[in-house]
Structure 1
């Protein structure tokens, strides 16, 4: 995990951008490996940089990583890339895969078994972006790094 000396969008000028990446080979161990990477990344960010990372943030980040990597493994052949980045007060989880088809969130349906991953990610993320790349696509979810002082979950606000 190397700090990037140039702040990215939204990063405080006195706080470095902290990031890590991993190539995932497309086998059954990818999801556990990605969750482990996310937990270690946030633990190091807290220990080495003094950033506030609550247990809830740790768990929600691992959940988002798990859902995005699961979707990449399920719908795209071959390898995927996982990027984790802390810029300012958010942690960004990005997953690239080789399939150019962008995901579409389905309408909520309590009777549907499975296929709720994107719904979950959209519910807990402050921001979400899906974009095509020259090869494949990149899905990015932005999560609040710290809990709301009022105790509310720091996901999307109801409309």
Structure 2
């Protein structure tokens, strides 16, 4: 993990708040990615005033974990995680060096495992996969304040 992410620095470009981290595919990197996402969203809420529901907090961590695990498992191990808040959503983007695009499998109630991509697609407002000059980028957008009861992460009403 790079030093900026370890220190929890937020980058601002005037239109979004974000953080980026490079991983090598080591044991525990997916857990570090979940922790990074949780800390990032806590700062987005407390420092920048964006509402973040508990549900969104959980979903973003799940999406980060699934996308990083897929990048480690099916890519070269090296990958990059970018988290950005844009338009009321957190954009989770994972780049890896593999040019093979992920494909959701056909529904099969007897299949055990390999449902991660289906889950990510189901919980995301937008989902896209695109080839890049080197490798591919998988992007999922999750709404930050989607709890109809207004239950914000870290707040008691």
Short-chain TM bin = 0.7 to 0.9
**CA shift digits 1:104-158 (9 cap, x unpaired):** 011222211111000000110010010001110000001111115378xxxxxxx
What RMSD in Å do the two structures reach over aligned CA positions?
Answer: 1.3
TM-score by length of 2: 0.86
Distance 1:56 1:135 in 2: 34
Partner of 1:4: 13
State TM-score, norm by structure 1.
Answer: 0.85
Taking the aligned partners of 2:104 and 2:136, their CA distance within structure 1 comes to: 16
- SS of 2:119's equivalent? helix
Aligned to 1:73: 72
SS in 1 for 2:47: helix
Moved over 4 A (4+): none
- 1:105 aligns with 104
Partner residue of 1:157? none
Number of equivalenced pairs: 141
CA contact (8 A) 1:108 1:119 kept: no
